[in-house]
Amino acid sequence: MQEFLDVVVGGVKLVNVKARYGWSDKSFSSLLQVVHDMLPEENTLPKSYYQAKKILCPMGMEYQKIHVCPNDCILYRHEFEEISKCPRCGVSRYKVKDDEECSIDENSKKGPPAKVLWYLPIVPRFKHLFASGDDAKDLTWHAIGRNHLDDCPQWRKIDRLFPDFGKEARNLRLGLASDGMNPYDNLSTQHSSWPVLLVIYNFPP
Ligand SMILES: [Zn+2]
């Protein structure tokens, strides 16, 4: 287990360096291959970017990248999947240089997306919680153990409004939090991220 964790931590550090300096997937794979060959034979360093991603996103729990209107009007999915301009505010889906503004061809204009939402699908993750015996048991911790959260008015209100939901101790209680941050500190002031975090309140601390 420790060895696996070391590989994951090392992998995250390497992938961060890749992201920071904009290395291509191919150059990153070449570097991994070289370092892998330099290490003792039984080392578990991934030999390619693809393998590294597999370790960091195990069991197919990948993320989806969804293009967003820069003004947050729409997500480019479902009926908007193929269009290249926001139907509400008219702003391009793709990054446009100032001098290109007047020559946008609706059908051919492609380039880097102006804004991207990284979505980590929650349903597969929830399924995993119930697939592991220990996790499934921990989900009922608030009902059998001590939990100051179920004293809070919001928790009791849910129990009162939705008694069927409240009775089933394994139903998931989620808290949602969001805040903006610049993941690269001041290296790139142009970039900011707004993580939206879902916290499962069923679990012990
Ligand atoms: Zn818009």
For the chain, how long is the longest CA-to-CA vector?
Answer: 64
Q: How many whole angstroms from 72 Cα to the centroid of ligand 1? A: 6
Nearest of 24, 196, 174, 50 to residue 118 by alpha carbon: 196
Q: What is the pLDDT of residue 103?
A: 47
Report whether pLDDT(109) > 60: no
Question: In terms of C-beta density within 10 A (0-12 exposed, 13-18 middle, 19 or more buried), how is residue 48 classed?
Answer: middle
Q: How many whole angstroms from 65 Cα to the centroid of ligand 1? A: 18
- Cα–Cα distances in Å, from 118 out to 47, 62, 64, 67, 132? 26, 10, 6, 9, 26
Question: What is the number of other CB atoms lying within 10 angstroms of the CB of residue 7?
Answer: 17
Q: What is the pLDDT of residue 94?
A: 94
Tokens at 92, concatenated: 């391009």
Q: How many whole angstroms from 21 Cα to the centroid of ligand 1? A: 30
Q: How many whole angstroms from 87 Cα to the centroid of ligand 1? A: 7
Highest mean pLDDT among 74-78, 153-157, 168-172, 190-194: 74-78
Q: What is the pLDDT of residue 147?
A: 57
Q: What mean pLDDT is predicted for residues 169-185?
A: 78
- pLDDT one-digit tens code per residue, 56-98: 765 556 678 899 999 999 999 999 999 999 999 999 999 976 5
Q: What angle do CA 67, 190, 91 make, to 5 degrees?
A: 40
Q: pLDDT exceeding 70 applies to what percent of the chain?
A: 77
pLDDT-based confidence at residue 2 (cuts at 50, 70, 90): low
Q: What angle do CA 93, 118, 107 make, to 5 degrees?
A: 20
Tokens at 1, concatenated: 């287990």
Q: Which residues of 75-85 are buried (b: 16+ CB within 10 A; e: fewer)?
A: ebeeebeeebb
Report the alpha-carbon distance of residue 95 to residue 164 in Å, rounded: 48
Q: How many whole angstroms from 68 Cα to the centroid of ligand 1? A: 8
Q: What is the pLDDT of residue 98?
A: 57
Residues with CB in 5 Å of ion ligand 1: 69, 71, 73, 86, 88-89
Q: What is the pLDDT of residue 16?
A: 79
Q: How many whole angstroms from 173 Cα to the centroid of ligand 1? A: 33
Grouping H, G, I as helix, E, B as strand and the rest as coil, residue 190 is coil
CB 3 within 8 A of CB 44: yes
- State phi, psi for 139 to the nearest 5 degrees: -65, -20
Higher pLDDT, 164 or 44: 164
Tokens at 97, concatenated: 């240089």
Mean pLDDT of the chain: 80
Q: How many whole angstroms from 74 Cα to the centroid of ligand 1? A: 6
Q: How many whole angstroms from 70 Cα to the centroid of ligand 1? A: 6
- pLDDT one-digit tens code per residue, 118-149: 888 888 788 888 887 888 888 888 787 655 66
Q: What is the pLDDT of residue 102?
A: 47
